[in-house]
Amino acid sequence: MPTVYVTAPPDAADELAETLVDERLAACVNRFPTTSVYRWEGEVHRDEETVLLAKTTDDAYAGLVERVQELHPYDVPCIERFDESDVLESFATWRTEHVE
Amino acid sequence: MPTVYVTAPPDAADELAETLVDERLAACVNRFPTTSVYRWEGEVHRDEETVLLAKTTDDAYAGLVERVQELHPYDVPCIERFDESDVLESFATWRTEHVE
Amino acid sequence: MPTVYVTAPPDAADELAETLVDERLAACVNRFPTTSVYRWEGEVHRDEETVLLAKTTDDAYAGLVERVQELHPYDVPCIERFDESDVLESFATWRTEHVE
């Protein structure tokens, strides 16, 4: 099942997390404050951001990515999918029931 | 080698982390404060939680999951396994030596 | 594409993150404060650390690991590679362009 890793400015991240759960694209989203160091147009930048880990299903994954791209303030957002190799069965069931 | 992702209320998470290392079910556990947004019984909820990343071995994995389920206050805890595709050999050796 | 998970003391982690981006070994690095519980020489220890998630490429991965080992204050640092199963194409392209 996909865990989707998204980096966003803190305010946008809060709104993204709420929207993904509200629209049943994710069963839950964990938000983590982060400091990012990155290169943009030749310069090294540092920014306070938020990392979202959105727990979703195979079926909902494409719709979630599309929605994040619509709402995200960056032209090139970090959106990556990681799949677990095992998951507690009751949690997997709960996740499937809370996503459409 | 498994990294086990567990979400728990902060107090329970601290105790879980200590127990897993104390009982040699994990060589180390990293704890991260998180804000979770999730759907439960039809409503969207928000909670301060802690995410644990427990570093363990193939052999100890089943015992770790069993112990987390025993100690965890939730009926349906998030317990997921992620496997790395590469690991520094000395770290893998250390991990194996500190887990039973 | 590799995401490299590194744990380090906070000061060393800040310097590592800057160096990896500055030397074009990673396109971006996310830093997260963490509390670690681990076993070392028979005793259970607790430390404030920082987790780095360095976003790099297949080609730059070996060089990044070598550089982290050179700069890291621990004899046995946690350096693990996780590969995503999907990534937004524009983000993958950006990443490739900012790593050498």
If 0-12 CB within 10 Å is exposed, 13-18 middle and 19+ buried, where does residue C97 land? exposed
Nearest to B28 among C5, C37, C65 (CB): C37
Q: CA A95, CA A89: separation in Å to the nearest integer?
A: 10
pLDDT at A71 over 90: yes
Domains parsed from chain C with CATH numbers:
2-97 (3.30.70.120)
Percent of chain B residues topping a pLDDT of 70:
100
Nearest to C81 among B20, B86, B94 (CB): B86
Kindly indicate the confidence band of residue B84, based on its pLDDT and cuts at 50, 70 and 90.
Answer: very high
Predicted local confidence at residue A45, as pLDDT: 95
Kindly indicate the confidence band of residue B42, based on its pLDDT and cuts at 50, 70 and 90.
Answer: confident
A87 touches chain B (CB under 8 A): yes
Could you tell me if C68 and C77 are in contact, meaning their C-beta atoms sit under 8 angstroms apart? yes
Predicted local confidence at residue C41, as pLDDT: 83
C interface test, pick of A78, A81, A82, A85 with most C CB neighbours within 10 Å = A78
Quick check: A21 and B39 CB within 8 A? yes
pLDDT at A41 over 90: no
B39 touches chain A (CB under 8 A): yes
pLDDT at B69 over 90: yes
C78 touches chain A (CB under 8 A): no
pLDDT at A40 over 90: no
ipTM (interface pTM): 0.96
User: End-to-end CA distance of chain C, in Å?
Assistant: 14
Instruction: Give A 4-23 residues with CB within 8 A of chain C.
Output: 5, 7
Q: Residue C100 contacts by C-beta under 8 Å, 6 or more apart in sequence? A: C24, C25, C60
Shortest CA gap C8–chain A (Å): 15
C51 touches chain B (CB under 8 A): yes
pLDDT at B9 over 90: yes
Taking CB atoms within 8 Å and a gap of at least 24, the contacts of C90-98 are C90/A75, C90/A76, C91/A76, C91/A77, C91/A78, C91/A79, C91/A80, C92/C1, C94/A76, C94/C27, C95/C1, C95/C27, C95/C28, C95/C55, C95/C56, C95/C57, C96/C27, C96/C57, C97/C27, C98/A38, C98/A39, C98/C24, C98/C27, C98/C28
pLDDT in tens, C3-54: 999 999 999 999 999 999 999 999 999 999 999 999 988 899 999 999 999 9
Shortest CA gap A74–chain B (Å): 22
Which helix (H) or strand (E) segment is B3 a member of? Answer: strand B2-8
A interface test, pick of C21, C51, C80 with most A CB neighbours within 10 Å = C21
pLDDT in tens, C49-91: 999 999 999 999 999 999 999 999 999 999 999 999 999 999 9
Q: CA C23, CA B34: separation in Å to the nearest integer?
A: 31
Query: Is residue C71 helix, strand or coil?
Result: helix
- The two tokens of residue C70 are 């050179």
Could you tell me if C6 and C54 are in contact, meaning their C-beta atoms sit under 8 angstroms apart? yes
Predicted local confidence at residue B40, as pLDDT: 85
User: Any idea what DSSP says for residue B24?
Assistant: T
When the pLDDT of each residue in chain A is averaged and rounded to a whole number, the result is 96
pLDDT in tens, A84-94: 999 999 999 99
Which helix (H) or strand (E) segment is C30 a member of? Answer: strand C28-40
Shortest CA gap B52–chain A (Å): 12
Shortest CA gap A22–chain C (Å): 23
pLDDT at A4 over 90: yes
Nearest to A38 among C28, C88, C90 (CB): C28
For residue B25, list chain C residues with Cβ-Cβ distance below 8 A.
Answer: none
Q: CA B57, CA B51: separation in Å to the nearest integer?
A: 19
Query: Is residue C81 helix, strand or coil?
Result: strand
